[in-house]
Amino acid sequence: MKISVTKTTTPKAIPTDDSQLGFGQIFTDHMFIVEYEAGRGWFDPRIIPYQKLSLNPASPVLHYGQEVFEGSKAYALDNGEIGLFRFKDNARRLNQSAVRTCMPELDVEFQYEALCRLLDLDRNWVPQSAGTSLYLRPTMIADGANLGAHAASRYIYFIICSPSGAYFSEGLEPVGIRIETRYARSVRGGMGGAKTGGNYAASFKAAVEASAEGYSQILWLDGKEQKYVEEVGAMNIMFVIDGKLVTADLGDTILPGITRDSILQMARAKGLTVEERRIPVTELYEAHAQGLLTEAFGTGTAAVITPVGELAWGDRKITINNYEIGPIAQMFYDELTAIQRQQNADPYGWTTTVPHYQY
């Protein structure tokens, strides 16, 4: 499909103070959009000025939540170009989420081309300061005008971009986490392995309650027994226990994080012992009592690494590594962000550079 381009005639002012960017609050001049119709397939791919979507009030996405999305980043490189990190893996994961939610897949190479053309047009929006990036949000939603409770026959895929600073105001400072014992994020056979909005909406109530108690995030347990560690907020979580890197094994209740996979690959390449398995909460507290739980940290696209300084399980609280970032978390953060910004060699083939196009 040929992508048409309509440039804005009223460009917005590009922020000049990167320290005031925040996360996901400002958007670039353009967006990409393509539509789907059953029997016709994907059609009319185009880059247009950033604008509101026009949806029928009976659009299925508004009533049944049939939508999926992704999160990735573009980086300002030292040579003046724009770098991407594993975006094709994000595109593949979006397709996996689409299959789970009964939505059509979109060719991975086409998603990549569409993004690159959009970034080339808005390349001046990529912030330059350390720790900043252009956050990328590909999204697919159900469209149409039908209140029947079934999969839609029309869909919209779009990409919007947002210059962003650090995801957490604390930066790399460790955060306090409350272990959730009442609510569940997902259950076996559910949607936990898909990146879909309902998973996040299901987490907001617990997050608000944790925030009111002074905690930055919540640690989800399995939905059946509420005994085993799953995710922390919108991130995967890892622990260093007796020198081993331990994380929950993937199933249909845990999102297969791109950052998670990157760190596990890096850890194995360094010869670290990696364990992907069920982790009982009791094991964490026992390991802490024995001095074996030395680090805990969340991993995700937005924050990359978020050290955990405290875990609270009911009235049982433990402090991890004196509420300081540990050496393994720091190492992974430094090395992974250097690869993402193409400042270090990339032995994994994760990085690409946005081409220049003629319009």
Total domains in the fold of the chain? 2
Whether 179 and 160 share a structural domain: no
Q: Which of 80, 68, 92, 55 is nearest to 200 (CA)?
A: 68
On average, the pLDDT of the chain sits at 95
Q: Is residue 200 part of a domain?
A: yes
Tell me what percent of the chain is helix, strand and coil, each rounded to the nearest 5.
Answer: 25, 30, 45
The pLDDT assigned to 170 comes to 53
Whether 124 and 180 share a structural domain: no
Q: How far apart are the first and last CA of the chain?
A: 16
Whether 121 and 218 share a structural domain: no
Whether 196 and 309 share a structural domain: yes
CA distance 34 to 156: 6
Q: In this structure, what CATH number is given to the domain that contains residue 135?
A: 3.30.470.10
Which structural domain, as residue segments, surrounds residue 47? Answer: 4-165
Whether 205 and 313 share a structural domain: yes
Whether 185 and 155 share a structural domain: no
Q: Could you tell me the two tokens for 107?
A: 């060719």
The pLDDT assigned to 330 comes to 96
Whether 280 and 219 share a structural domain: yes
Q: Is residue 343 part of a domain?
A: no
Whether 68 and 114 share a structural domain: yes
The pLDDT assigned to 359 comes to 78
Whether 86 and 15 share a structural domain: yes
In which residue ranges of the chain is pLDDT below 50? none
Q: Write down the pTM of the prediction.
A: 0.95
Whether 11 and 149 share a structural domain: yes
Q: In this structure, what CATH number is given to the domain that contains residue 293?
A: 3.20.10.10
| Residue pLDDT, tens place only, 31-83 | 999 999 999 999 999 999 999 999 999 999 999 999 999 999 999 999 999 99
Q: Is residue 34 part of a domain?
A: yes
